Amino acid sequence: MAMASNKTQCFTYDKEKIAYSCQGCSKEFCSMDLAKHQQILNEKLDHIINDYNEFKQIMNEQKRNPEKHSLIKQIDQWEINSIEIIQEKAQECRDIFIKSSQTCIKDIEKKFKDLNEQIKQIHQDNEFNEMNLNYLTNQLIKMTEELNNPSKISIQQDSQPFIHDISIILSKKPKFNKWKQDAITVAGGNEQGQKLNQFNYPEGIFVGEKKNIFIADSYNHRIVEWKCNAKEGQTIAGGNGKGNRIYQLNYPTNVIFDQQNHSIIIADYGNKRVIQWMNQNQQVLIDNIDCWGLAMDKHGFLYVSDTKRNEVRRWKMGEYDNEGIVVAGGNGKGDELNQLSYPTFIFVDEDQSVYVSDKWNHRVAKWRKDANEGIVVAGGNGEGGNLNQLSEPARVIIDYLGQIYVADFGNDRIVRWCEGKEEGEIVVGGNGEGNQSNQLNHPMGISFDDEGNLYVADRWNHRIEKFEIIL
């Protein structure tokens, strides 16, 4: 495992000793700490072997009893639910028929009494002929048919099934979404300004459930909400001039929505604070931080990027009286895998991995939970406009397939990268800097609605563009 080297600093004690190099991690250890290091590695190997054995047991169990698979359970549940729906519908029809048939029988019973009286009268008078007898016979036949086949009641089977059909889908290659290349301006686009139908360098955005758009209107020092198809927005935070009072903002860069208490959380970059607005009430959550990007995970943790400290920290919601935990960077400014250089926008996935737009390194880095360094998942080949490069990346979003979408600020385009690939692909834009419907001018924020349409904060065009998904 190790080879003795000259006296150097032991990694554990940070003291100069005769050290041995671990070929796996390339760190130097003294003889005592090398044994401890080896013991740690042995324990990790034991854990891997245990995990392997557990996986083997699960695999063998599924091989022996495929009917116990979770998908089989879903099919069984569908069968139970469908039978219940059929039984409920059948009973409903029985009840309706019984009620209606009783009304029908009462009508027939009345007719039968009238006919019976006529028969008695004819028999008593002893005056009847073939015409009378044919009449009585026909009336009895009609009542019999009405009793057996009520004319007002029938059964109709709808051509539309009321039970949801199921089928097994054997997925092949995932279908990557595509969007129309000509966008629709859904907010702003009325030149640079401070009116409610204008923006002054919009940055972070997100789209709500009703397609309402929340925009960090940075140079107007406000957060604006544009409802679907609205002609102008509504100021929901700031908008009281540039300043550091509790009701003011100073160059906000990002805004997110806290589902738990229906509030918005703002990266108030110019005031070096993260502030929460809820029903026009304001509360500073974190101060003395050069905050730019914000993200929140499903466990209630808030993540904030710090452009000065070149790091991303995490706080438990409601517990802001501490310094938080560093989850990315924190090792000074640089381009090593454990460093960042002016981190801006961030995204946190289901596994609590943190994706960071590492602006001056022109890359997107992914830091898995509890990792000591990140991996480059987009760019990282110097600043440029080639498909393996980025230029000052801004907002980053990960979709359900794990695809990475980046607002490539300096290249006027939105690109998509798949982790492990050498280069990305242009999604929209990339037609040169401009204000045409197929052009962007330094895009900053991106977001998706629930239908998969792509929204872009087209910063230097002072507008929000919507690229419709191609179904």
What CATH homologous superfamily does 178-470 map to? TolB, C-terminal domain (2.120.10.30)
Phi, psi of 280, rounded to the nearest 5 degrees: 65, 10
Percent share of the chain, pLDDT over 70: 89
**CA 70 to chain CA centroid, nearest Å:** 24
What are 195-215's pLDDT values in tens digits?
A: 999 999 999 999 988 899 999
Question: Mean pLDDT, the chain, as a whole number?
Answer: 87
Order of all β-strands in the sheet with 222-226:
202-207, 213-217, 222-226, 234-238
pLDDT at 345: 98
> CA–CA separation, 327 vs 467, rounded Å?
33
- What is the arithmetic mean of pLDDT over 230-254? 96
* Torsion sign over Cα 58, 63, 66, 68: negative
String of DSSP letters for 337-358:
TT-BSSEEEEEE-TT--EEEEE
Say which residues have a Cβ less than 8 Å from residue 349's Cβ, sequence separation at least 6.
355, 398, 402
447: left (phi > 0), else alpha (psi -120 to 50), else beta?
beta
Say which residues have a Cβ less than 8 Å from residue 210's Cβ, sequence separation at least 6.
227, 228
| Least confident residue range of 66-70, 301-305, 336-340 | 66-70
Cβ–Cβ under 8 Å, residues 84 and 162: no
Burial label, 325 (beta-carbon count in 10 A; 0-12, 13-18, 19+)? middle
Q: Between 130-148 and 70-125, two packed helices, what is the crossing angle to 10 degrees?
A: 160
Domain ranges of the chain: 8-64, 82-170, 178-470
Pairing of the two strands 403-408 and 202-207: unpaired
pLDDT at 17: 61
DSSP 8-state code for residue 323: -
- Give the Å distances, CA to CA, from 259 to 277, 317, 395: 13, 12, 21
Task: Output the furthest CA–CA distance in the chain (Å, rounded).
Answer: 139
**CA 425 to chain CA centroid, nearest Å:** 22
Q: Which residue has the higher pLDDT, 387 or 45?
A: 387
Cβ–Cβ under 8 Å, residues 337 and 374: yes
- What is the arithmetic mean of pLDDT over 346-373? 96
Order of all β-strands in the sheet with 413-418:
393-398, 403-408, 413-418, 425-429
pLDDT at 19: 62
Percent share of the chain, pLDDT over 90: 56
Long-range contacts of 191-197 (CB under 8 A, 24+ apart): 191/462, 192/462, 193/462, 194/220, 195/232, 196/224, 196/232, 196/233, 196/234, 196/235, 197/231, 197/232, 197/233
pTM for the predicted model, two decimal places:
0.65
H helices of 65-170, in order, are 70-125, 130-148
The token duo for 139 is 């009336």
- What is the arithmetic mean of pLDDT over 302-315? 97
> CA–CA separation, 446 vs 403, rounded Å?
14
- What is the arithmetic mean of pLDDT over 417-424? 92
Order of all β-strands in the sheet with 263-268:
252-258, 263-268, 273-278, 281-287
The token duo for 341 is 């250089």
> CA–CA separation, 249 vs 267, rounded Å?
9
What are 32-72's pLDDT values in tens digits?
A: 777 777 888 788 888 888 877 877 787 777 777 777 777 78
> E strands within 340-442?
343-348, 354-358, 363-367, 375-379, 393-398, 403-408, 413-418, 425-429
Tokens 């895998």 locate to 337
- Give the Å distances, CA to CA, from 1 to 5, 11, 15: 13, 16, 21
- What is the arithmetic mean of pLDDT over 6-30? 63
Looking at the predicted structure, is the pLDDT value of residue 11 above 70?
Answer: no
> CA–CA separation, 382 vs 388, rounded Å?
9
